[in-house]
């Protein structure tokens, strides 16, 4: 799904979290929102997902105005830094949760089992369905969080520092995992990071933010081509 952000702005009291920003995200792109703390990355991601509403501007999904759509109507798959798994549910139940909560559109139990099994294979943890989140490593939990986000068959994936709490080795594995899942599903994927290497390694398109503004948009090699001093300055000034 193509996502267009058209002159979106957001104030929190006197703080301009986002000045009017505009951005076109091509269908199927893997996009990094990169910038220092407080630059507006999470605010922009939450506006895309319908967790927050902008003061001005529009969000378009495949050219259709989606600004007023609810979270459910947008069908975004979310993954956050903190493990948002339900502790009292098994991995299987966690992944199935979004499907079971669908009311009348709830799939039959056999279909739920089929889908959860397939998602466990996709995250390369086929045997952990019966475990509880406390019995998993941090990296495994984030894989399960990813599977749960995918279970609802989202139209896009939105990830906020999904690997932020993990050590370097696991982080690297999960980057590759996200890349593989992205390539398999073809979902337009937006992930927030303040790690420059992560953005460069993983993304097709890097959006550099600073103080509620978009400073640069480009492919990793184009962003890298900028003088390092400029890049560093944009961080320091924020
Ligand atoms: N709910 C809120 N109420 C008040 N101010 C907020 C709220 N959410 C964000 N802000 C402010 O808006 C600005 C942008 O915040 P945002 O969370 O989008 O930044 P970020 O780039 O995600 O930062 P970080 O890397 O620390 O997560 C900050 O100045 C922040 O304090
Ligand atoms: Mg944030």
Judgement on whether residues 68 and 31 belong to the same structural domain of the protein: yes
Please give the Cα distance from 31 to 26 (Å, whole number).
9
Judgement on whether residues 142 and 179 belong to the same structural domain of the protein: no
Judgement on whether residues 170 and 110 belong to the same structural domain of the protein: no
pLDDT of amino acid 53 = 96
Residue 168 lies in a domain: yes
Domain boundary pick from 152, 168, 195: 152
Judgement on whether residues 164 and 229 belong to the same structural domain of the protein: yes
**Is the per-residue pLDDT at 233 higher than 60?**
no
Q: Which residue has the CA at smallest separation from atom 4 of ligand 1?
A: 12
Domain boundary pick from 123, 152, 181: 152
Judgement on whether residues 158 and 230 belong to the same structural domain of the protein: yes
Judgement on whether residues 107 and 201 belong to the same structural domain of the protein: no
Judgement on whether residues 139 and 200 belong to the same structural domain of the protein: no
Residue 81 lies in a domain: no
Judgement on whether residues 166 and 63 belong to the same structural domain of the protein: yes
Judgement on whether residues 161 and 131 belong to the same structural domain of the protein: no
What strands, in cross-sheet order, belong to the sheet with 205-210? Answer: 76-80, 156-160, 188-193, 30-34, 205-210, 213-218
Residue 221 lies in a domain: yes
- Identify the CATH number of the domain in which residue 195 sits: 3.40.50.300
Residue 221 CB contacts under 8 Å (≥ 6 apart), including other chains = none
Burial 15-31 (b: 16+ CB within 10 A, else e): ebbbebbebebeeebbb
Mind listing the pLDDT tens digit for each residue in 181-204? Answer: 999 999 999 999 989 999 999 999
The range of the structural domain enclosing residue 134 comes to: 87-152
Residue 133 lies in a domain: yes
Judgement on whether residues 63 and 126 belong to the same structural domain of the protein: no
42 Cβ closer than 6 Å to some ligand 1 atom: yes
Residue 139 lies in a domain: yes
Domain boundary pick from 128, 152, 176: 152
The mean pLDDT of the chain is 91
164 Cβ closer than 6 Å to some ligand 1 atom: no
pLDDT of amino acid 84 = 80
Q: Return the best residue to mutate from 17, 21, 238 for the ligand 1 pocket (most ligand atoms within 8 A of CB).
A: 17
Mind listing the pLDDT tens digit for each residue in 122-133? Answer: 999 999 999 999
Instruction: Please tell me the distance between residue 114's alpha carbon and the centre of ligand 2 in angstroms.
Output: 35
Q: How confident is the model at residue 98 (pLDDT cuts 50, 70, 90)?
A: confident
How many domains does the chain fold into? 2
210 Cβ closer than 6 Å to some ligand 1 atom: no
Residue 80 lies in a domain: no
**Is the per-residue pLDDT at 228 higher than 70?**
no
* Ion ligand 2 nearby residues (CB, 5 A): 42
Phi and psi angles of residue 80, each rounded to the nearest 5 degrees, phi first: -110, 170
Judgement on whether residues 11 and 52 belong to the same structural domain of the protein: yes
Judgement on whether residues 65 and 45 belong to the same structural domain of the protein: yes
């Amino acid at each position: 799904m193509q996502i267009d952000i058209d002159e979106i702005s957001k104030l929190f009291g006197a703080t301009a979290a986002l000045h009017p920003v505009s951005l076109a995200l091509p269908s199927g792109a893997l996009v990094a929102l990169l910038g220092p703390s407080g630059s507006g990355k999470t605010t922009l991601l939450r506006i895309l997902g319908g967790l927050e509403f902008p003061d001005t501007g529009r969000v378009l999904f495949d050219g259709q105005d989606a600004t007023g759509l609810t979270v459910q109507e947008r069908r975004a798959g979310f993954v956050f830094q903190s493990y948002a798994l339900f502790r009292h549910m098994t991995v299987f139940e966690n992944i199935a949760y979004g499907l079971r909560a669908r009311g009348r559109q709830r799939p039959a139990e056999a279909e739920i089992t089929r889908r959860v099994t397939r998602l466990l294979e996709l995250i390369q943890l086929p045997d952990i369905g019966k475990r509880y989140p406390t019995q998993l490593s941090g990296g495994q939990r984030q894989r399960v969080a990813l599977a749960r986000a995918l279970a609802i068959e989202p139209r896009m994936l939105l990830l906020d520092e999904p690997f932020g709490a993990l050590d370097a080795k696991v982080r690297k594995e999960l980057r590759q995992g996200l890349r593989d899942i992205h390539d398999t599903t073809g979902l337009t994927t937006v992930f927030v990071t303040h790690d420059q290497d992560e953005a460069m390694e993983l993304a097709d398109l890097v959006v550099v933010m600073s103080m509620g503004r978009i400073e640069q948009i480009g492919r990793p090699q184009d962003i890298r081509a900028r003088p390092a001093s400029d890049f560093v300055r944009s961080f320091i000034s924020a």
